[in-house]
Amino acid sequence: MPKYRPVLIYFDQQGYDDAIEKARKKVELYKKAHAFVSQYVDVDNSRRFADSFTGYFVSRYYSLNKEKIQLQISPEKLIDLMEIDLVPLRECEEKYKLTEAEIAFNGIDAVPVPDVDRKPYEAYTESATQNEMLRDTKRFIEALNGLKKHVAVTASNIIAGTSNLVGYDVRKQEYVVNHNLVRGLRGS
């Protein structure tokens, strides 16, 4: 039996692209909140700001302006007195927290960037037997594609004839390896 080396069977491009898009939307929400807050104060710590837009803003605004009023009032009361409407910031923060996406900060005062790991969207073979099955299935698909030039090849017949090992991607209009069946095969 040949030596085993993991081989990529499948990459979920659509899922990966969706995760990147979610991360971009999360970054845009961050930028929107940052722009709102920057009207009043400088953001000196991006990560702390990302933890709580509203909390960070209220605390920072109060610390920079408490001497100006010479009264002992709460940070929230100061915001009210200055007639700063926090509703847009709170709405932005809520959407940001509800957006499940991976982003990363490259430094304390950096703007976040999408940080989506490809690994969860990849499927690899787990044995030499799976490698062999994948190789044979890919050869079969190549032969089918060559045969399509000469005769009509019906996807439903191919799928049934291969016990679903070969599938058909309607969006891409091409035959594909059913990675779930290949990975379902156990062997050495």
- Domain boundaries along the sequence of the chain: 13-114, 125-184
Q: What is the DSSP string of 67-81?
A: HHH-S---HHHHHHH
Rounded Cα distance between 78 and 84, Å, is 9
**76-131: pLDDT as tens digits:** 888 888 899 999 999 999 999 999 999 998 876 688 999 999 999 999 999 999 99
Task: Report which of 15, 11, 13 is spatially closest to residue 123, judged by C-alpha positions.
Answer: 11
In the predicted structure, residue 69 carries a pLDDT above the cut 50 = yes
Q: Provide mean pLDDT across the span 139-154.
A: 91
Q: Provide mean pLDDT across the span 37-57.
A: 93
